[in-house]
Every structure is written in structure tokens, then in C-alpha cells.
Structure 1
Amino acid sequence: MDDSKRLWYIVQTYSGFENSVKVNLERRIESMNMENLIFQVMIPEELKTEKKADGTIKEKMVKIFPGYVFIEMVVTDDSWFVVRNTPGVTGFLGSSGGGTKPIPLKPDEINPILKKCGMLAVQRLNVQPGQQVKVANGTLEGQIVTVESIDEEKGKVHVLIEMFGRQTAMELDFTEVEVI
């Protein structure tokens, strides 16, 4: 199976029915032998803490996107049919109906969600602001730049580069720089 076709999609559900849709989908994937086309079913949640009136602190898991379930799958006529016809599923986000296939999430849309849910390792860059790094690829490959700030959540580093006799700010991905 070509992993490049394995992408994340968003399925709309009735609000409050996300968990039952997830269970129904997982049962249908198994009973209809779709394990090679539908890989993961996820309901993005995060831990919220709230302070009650009596001073106690309560932690609870809260759905980040109520009414939506995220599915990693390869869209074929069969896999699309299985998901679409699961009880509680009202449709795919990005599918306008009439047989049009859904639009997958782009990596820069799904990766922050996967990181927040602990499903994707957060890449670290072992540098500090003020330190110099080398641009590893792209049009500025080989250039030495100064780190201005680091956004670990997005995997981006903000740098200053000397261009035309003045400092210019740029945002680069962690994969685009090498520590020197």
C-alpha cells in the first residue's frame, strides 16, 4: 500500500455522538476487513483543569472539536462507503456531496493536532536565541543565520539573515536548519 495516499480526513457527527461513532467505525473496519485502508480513528481531546467554588481542582478531558472525528485512511470507493454509512456520521468535511471525494487535511493542519494529542513526537531543536545555525536546504542553503526565537509547538525557528546589508526576519522549519 502506498503510504502517500494514507491521509487524515474529518468526519462530521452529531455533537455528543463522537465516541459512539468511533466505536461503530472501529467495529465496521474490523467486520468489513478495512484494516488495510482505514488505519486510525481519533477524537482530539485535551486535559482541562478547572477550579471549583469550594477551591478543589477538577481535571477532565474535553473534546477540542465537538461534532468531529478524525480518520486516517486511504480513500477508495469501498473505504469511503464504509465511513459514510456508519451510524452517526453525517458526512465528510470538505465533501460537497454528489459523489465528490473528501479533501484531506494538509500536514500543517493535522500535525499540530496530533502533537497536542500526543500522537506525534514533538521535534526539538537544541539551540537558544542568539545562537547561529546553518540553513540545510532551499535557496539559502549553506547560509549562516542567527536564531531569534523558537516555536517548538509548530516546529518553526525564527531567524535573522543578512540580506542586502540589513537583517531580515524569516521563519524556517526545524528540518531546514542544522545546528553548528
Structure 2
Amino acid sequence: MRSALHLKKGDVVDFAGRASSFRLDIPDFVHRCWHVVMVDPCTDRSVAKRLEEDLGLLPYVPQEWRSVPGGRGRKREVQVPMLPGYVLVGLPDLDWTWRAVLATRGVEGFLHRSGSQTPATLSDASVERLRYAERCANNKREKRLAAAGKSEWQPGGDVWVDLVPGFSPLLAKIGATKDPRGRIEILLEEDVFGRRAWSVEPKQLRRVSV
């Protein structure tokens, strides 16, 4: 049994006061909306990790790479949140799911629309635009890595590629990743315009979720 003095906001206990685990276990067929969760300063990634590991959710923290002074006149690249203080979480519009998130350590509350008592939600299209903005923000760095043969994309890996603007992404495999122009070679599952091999920019690629 844990003493109440050792409990922190977000800890889950049973009726005897013992540490317990609690996962939401939301069925796949239940529709989820994107909610904007406000978190304590500089806790974006740690809160997202708790939401994933403790509640079984799939939070999204948009990030970008920035150059910062590293001492002795040098610079180093660090990954920082694009929306500091906010984490996006897909949840059903149900009170009990909101309460579970609010009980998580580091969470301050949900973003609400003016005059509304229920949390504000984002459409899937809005989140997809944010994901694209994230890829664009990191495109220059990924092209530089590809030109140096240090791309984070691994040959043979499965990816979604936005080949034709306005159309659904296509499934492909990564080919060569070293290119002086910073582009990535891919091989499509099916022919498009008479060919399967294409050279694309890193921002056109998306990882395949397992």
C-alpha cells in the first residue's frame, strides 16, 4: 500500500490504495475526435508518453528541428514542439475519457471554444494539414541528410507517398536514400503513369503505422 504522501496527480490506485494500471481500451469501431490538451510548460513529450503508456492512447506532438547555440561558436540541432504547451489526442466525446486524461500528471485541461462547456475538437483534415506542415518544416534537414547519405529513411521500408497532389497516398518501398539533390528513391506497389520507380522529396513520405 502506498502512503497518500507519495501519491501524485495522475497516479491510479485501487480502493485499497495500491498502485494500479488503468487503460481506456477504446474499441476500434468507436469514432474518435482530435482534442487539444493543454499541458504544463516543457512537458509536451513526457505527457504524451504517459497518455500512450498509461491510458493506451495515441497522442500527437508536432515537432520540428531547430539550430541552437552549442558552445564554442558551434550550433547543434534539437527537436522542439511546434505547438509548445499542447498535445493532440484522439478521443471519443465521452465524459469518462475526458476525466481519465484530466487525471494524467502534467495535464492542465482541454482547450474549449468560447462559450462552450465541452472540449473543442479538430477535424481529421486539420490534423493532416498540420502533419504536412510538420513534414515541410523538416524537409530541408532531411534533404541535407539524404545528400550526405545519412537519411533516416531505411531502404526496403514501407511508406505512404503523396505522389499526386489532391489524390490519396500510395504505398511504396524505400529504394536508394543517398542522392546529391537530397531526394529519396521509391518503388510503388503499382504503376503510375507507366512507371513504378520515382524520386521524391522527404516531405512527400509518411511512415506506415504498425
Q: Show the counterpart of 1:143.
A: none
Amino acid corresponding to residue 35 of structure 2 in structure 1:
Y
Q: Show the counterpart of 1:113.
A: 130
2-structure distance, mates of 1:52, 1:28: 35
After superposition, give the CA deviation of every residue in 1:146-177 in whole Å (9 maximum; x if it has no partner): xxxxxxx8xxxxxxxxxxxxxxxxxxxxxxxx
Determine if the alignment matches structure 1 residue 71 to structure 2 residue 89. yes
The normalised TM-score by structure 1 is 0.52
Q: Show the counterpart of 1:123.
A: 162
1:44 touches 1:64 (CA, 8 Å); kept in 2?
yes
Trace 1:1-180 onto structure 2 (pairs within 5 A).
Answer: 1=27, 5-29=31-55, 35=56, 39-50=57-68, 56-94=74-112, 100-117=117-134, 121=160, 123-125=162-164
Which structure shows the bigger proportion of residues in strand conformation?
1
2:50 touches 2:104 (CA, 8 Å); kept in 1?
yes
Amino acid corresponding to residue 17 of structure 1 in structure 2:
T
CA apart distance, 1:104: 1.1
After superposition, give the CA deviation of every residue in 1:9-50 in whole Å (9 maximum; x if it has no partner): 110011112223223323431xxxxx4xxx411221111235
2-structure distance, mates of 1:45, 1:68: 11
Change (3 A) 1:54 1:112: farther
1:46 touches 1:116 (CA, 8 Å); kept in 2?
no
CA apart distance, 1:63: 0.9
1-structure distance, mates of 2:29, 2:42: 32
CA apart distance, 1:102: 1.2
1:11 touches 1:91 (CA, 8 Å); kept in 2?
yes
- Provide the identity percentage: 26
Change (3 A) 1:115 1:77: same
2:51 touches 2:58 (CA, 8 Å); kept in 1?
no
Local SS of the residue matching 1:81? helix
Change (3 A) 1:91 1:51: closer
> What stretches of structure 1 of length at least 5 have no aligned partner?
30-34, 127-152, 154-180
Local SS of the residue matching 1:87? coil
Change (3 A) 1:14 1:97: farther
The normalised TM-score by structure 2 is 0.45
Change (3 A) 1:28 1:95: farther
Structure with the bigger RCO (C-alpha within 8 Å, sep 6+) is: 1
2-structure distance, mates of 1:55, 1:77: 52
2-structure distance, mates of 1:50, 1:20: 22
Amino acid corresponding to residue 46 of structure 2 in structure 1:
S
Amino acid corresponding to residue 6 of structure 1 in structure 2:
R
2-structure distance, mates of 1:86, 1:53: 37
Local SS of the residue matching 2:59? strand
- Count the aligned residue pairs: 118
